DNA sequence: ATGGTCGGCAACCGA
């Protein structure tokens, strides 16, 4: 069994103990992390050597930052999109545990009238070009991360109120569909058709987790060869009970490989 | 109820 997880940690250093403990309890073969918020020179890697994880990462000061942890050797590592701005702290691709993993932290978009929103939409188109150039859909490819999209009404707590938000918007959902059409299956949705399963609860909303006022923004997408072997995909709310929770929860997928 | 709370980093930006 190969177990793969994705987790937006909102600062790896602030939540180092949480991530460290979570790895030891859950022992995923691969963990993809977003929003590490740490420059490469300060990446806290030594702690993970002792518990049997290899890791690759790309960060910057204050914002963004991605990493992949794996219990097996990691090869064919690349960062960023194909053309400028490549956004290296938002994309890491690598080969490990018999799969190609692409870990993305997609721009949030700020507001529908912001240039950042147009940049977000273009990012999806550029990501499709990345997949077209680097892989084939018959290969075992996993696309994981904080995609900053709740694809459908069942993926947000109040679709009537939230429609039009940069993370719940027909334009963004269409952009996601277009990338998925390259050859990805939404592995969580493949296993669970129900509303109310989220991976993000806004810090700024009081008791959002208690009332389950959340969004499904984090995803594990797999090509057909991996979808056929995916036995489970589920949200783990464990770290939300920790003393300093992230506003995201880990998402886990299990494969017979 | 158009708010609220985090993290980074030293004033506000991003989410």
* Residue A218 reports pLDDT greater than 90: yes
Of the listed ranges A5-9, A226-230, A237-241, the one predicted with least confidence:
A237-241
Whole-number pLDDT of residue A83:
97
Residue pLDDT, tens place only, A3-50: 999 999 999 999 999 999 999 999 999 999 999 999 999 999 999 999
Domain ranges of chain A: 2-255
Tokens of A70: 């794996």
Whole-number pLDDT of residue A106:
98
Residue A168 CA and nucleotide B12 C1' are separated, in Å, by 27
- Does residue A177 reach within 7 angstroms of strand B, measured from its CB? no
Query: A239 with A245: CB under 8 angstroms?
Result: yes
Whole-number pLDDT of residue A242:
83
- Does residue A210 reach within 7 angstroms of strand B, measured from its CB? no
Burial of A213 (C-beta count, 10 Å sphere; 0-12/13-18/19+)? middle
Residue pLDDT, tens place only, A171-194: 999 999 999 999 999 999 999 999
Which strand (E) or helix (H) includes residue A70?
strand A66-70
Find and give the residue nearest to B1, measured CA to C1'. Answer: A205
How is domain A2-255 classified at the architecture level of CATH?
4-Layer Sandwich (3.60)
Whole-number pLDDT of residue A124:
98
- Does residue A95 reach within 7 angstroms of strand B, measured from its CB? no
Nucleotide nearest to A39 (CA to C1'): B8
Residue pLDDT, tens place only, A101-159: 999 999 999 999 999 999 999 999 999 999 999 999 999 999 999 999 999 999 999 99
Q: Residue A9 and residue A27: Cα distance in Å, rounded?
A: 17
Closest CA to A246 of A34, A49, A72, A32: A34
Tokens of A117: 């929103």
Number of H helices and E strands in chain A, helices first, is: 7, 12
Whole-number pLDDT of residue A243:
84
Burial A143-178 (b: 16+ CB within 10 A, else e): bbbbbbbbbeeebbbeeeebeeebbbbebbbebbee
């Amino acid at each position: 069994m190969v177990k793969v997880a994705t987790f937006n940690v909102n600062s790896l250093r602030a939540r180092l103990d949480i991530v460290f403990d979570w790895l030891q309890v859950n022992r995923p073969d691969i963990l993809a992390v977003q929003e590490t918020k740490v420059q490469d020179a300060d990446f806290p890697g030594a702690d993970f050597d002792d518990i049997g994880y290899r890791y690759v990462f790309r960060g910057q000061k204050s914002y963004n930052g991605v990493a992949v942890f794996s219990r097996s050797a990691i090869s064919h590592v690349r960062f960023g999109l194909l053309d400028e701005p490549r956004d290296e702290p938002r994309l890491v691709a690598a080969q490990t545990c018999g799969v190609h993993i692409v870990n993305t932290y997609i721009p949030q978009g700020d507001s529908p009238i912001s240039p950042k929103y147009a940049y977000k939409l273009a990012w999806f188109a550029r990501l499709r070009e990345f997949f077209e150039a680097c892989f084939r859909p018959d290969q075992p490819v996993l696309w994981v991360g904080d995609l900053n999209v709740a694809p459908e009404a069942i993926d947000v707590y109040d679709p009537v109120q939230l429609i039009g938000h940069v993370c719940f918007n027909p334009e963004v959902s269409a952009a996601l569909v277009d990338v998925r059409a390259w050859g990805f299956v939404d592995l969580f949705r493949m296993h669970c058709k129900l509303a109310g399963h989220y991976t993000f609860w806004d810090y700024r909303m009081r008791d959002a987790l208690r009332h389950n006022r959340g969004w499904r923004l984090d995803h594990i997408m797999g090509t057909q060869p991996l979808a056929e072997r995916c036995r489970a995909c589920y949200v783990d709310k464990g770290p939300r009970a920790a003393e300093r929770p992230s506003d995201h929860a880990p998402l886990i997928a299990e494969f017979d490989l």
